[in-house]
Structure 1
């Protein structure tokens, strides 16, 4: 079975999407629509901006979404997903690609999400750290033992878990996890503690927007971050999408469930190769490929 997966924040690069814009009239039209919806020329920042421009959450998230979704649309009839999933922000791309959300509504929600997350980061300075080489349960136990906000945020693959929390909490957790034998406990260059209780202000703000948006039954099951399960019911999809901001990204469990349900070929659509690498670490024998440029 063919599964399509969509990357999240961190996969961006200067020049992303330029070849698609210049060589596909449908893509160009969608990019120009996006410029109008957002009220600024995001294409200028994507194609000719600086790395600093692209690092701003309010630019990064819609840029990756646009690159992923527009690439999927250029595939035309050859895009026949039997299941989709996305990592964090990529879940919105997966939902639009599967027809659960319109292109316009998806982009509006992604932009609102980015702005809401930016605001939440400013309320309480916070960060994330990658922990490599420990079992998930050890990382969870250490996080639970700390008298501060520190939680497991991204279950990326076995032996790689990202934690999220206050600066003090993350520092303490990294220290303790190294003592427990972590190969690496590295703070990440991110703007805040995504997928943690510190994103509650953003979750509340985005909940209103999601509840006021039309969701449809997708053409195939979408495996969502919050519960790692296949969803087709619009009401369930909405609830999982709202929960996503403060809940962990269960990527390991998502891929394992997709494999159990018959996935044998994963195609990552969008910038970078991060998800292909994670999928191979979860199941070495599975076939993976990427589409990051016009086919």
Structure 2
């Protein structure tokens, strides 16, 4: 098979019904879903498969649900002895990538991402914030606009996700983000739209969550990964458990440097990617970053078979 890079989606890719075909047709995945329900003490898989949508949209449920879906898919993919050269995960997806690389045990990872979601949800209640996608402007320009909005309003505003050329997300307090949106529109942005999130993720408003999460990460069993994981906060590869721990600690308050992460992977000669989890968001971002690269999205048994067939050609 062709060598591949793995991509794992984060919050925003979820949908009610994700994993249904996997649970209905593959006993091992059904057992994994049941194991997660038992560990967490509630029916996470029921929320995944049946909803309601409002429950799945809660950050404390969204994060473990996406992690569980990706883990079920990876359990199947791992049987085929893929030649994985590197992996990256978008925000929450970094934990899925670490699990795939053997750095994070499934149960340990599930517990951490559930806590991560709860802490981020709580931080959003304690310091309400917002996020907005700015489309059609250079990322450096958007970063400058976010700084200017913070200076003008004295409210937090900062670049949070560098997702693709012409697609950057700002995060912070509502007043700061709204001013950034106004400045972006006046600078010629094609769109500036608020995102349906419960907090200002990847901004300084997440510092309380990051502090508590760091305590849990300090006690976590993390081992060296079997292939490099490209960190969100640095866009550089991680090879050691000690590096992983420190990067995860800073991840909640630092921007997701997705464009640079993908560019690093492509610079290593990776041209075939697998998106492992719900949706096709990361495949779309990859096309905007480098159209020469190919991403096959895997989210159910049929797409898994199609992706494997493509890698064999």
**So what's the TM-score if we normalise by structure 1?**
0.98
1:48-105 residue CA offsets vs partner (Å, 9 max, x unmatched): 1121121111111111110011111012321522211100000000000110100000
Q: Distance in 1 between matches of 2:131 and 2:81?
A: 35
Report whether the alignment pairs 1:115 with 2:118.
yes
Structure-2 residue corresponding to 1:275? 282
Q: Distance in 2 between matches of 1:181 and 1:133?
A: 8
Q: Is the 8 A contact 1:271 1:292 kept in 2?
A: yes
Q: Is the 8 A contact 1:72 1:79 kept in 2?
A: no
Moved >4 Å (runs of 4+):
none
**So what's the TM-score if we normalise by structure 2?**
0.92
Structure-2 residue corresponding to 1:105? 108
1:169 deviates by: 0.4
Structure-2 residue corresponding to 1:206? 213
**SS in structure 2 of the partner of residue 75 of structure 1:** helix
Over aligned residues, Cα RMSD in angstroms?
A: 1.0
Match of 1:284 among 285, 291, 295: 291
Q: How does 1:20-59 map to 2 (within 5 A)?
A: 20-59=22-61
Q: Distance in 1 between matches of 2:281 and 2:21?
A: 21
Q: Is the 8 A contact 1:8 1:64 kept in 2?
A: yes
In the alignment, structure 1 segments of 5+ residues that lack a partner are: none
Structure-2 residue corresponding to 1:224? 231
Report whether the alignment pairs 1:256 with 2:259.
no
Match of 1:162 among 160, 169, 179: 169
Number of residue pairs matched? 295
Q: Distance in 1 between matches of 2:288 and 2:53?
A: 29
**SS in structure 2 of the partner of residue 106 of structure 1:** helix
1:234 deviates by: 0.4
Q: Is the 8 A contact 1:207 1:242 kept in 2?
A: yes
**SS in structure 1 of the partner of residue 297 of structure 2:** strand
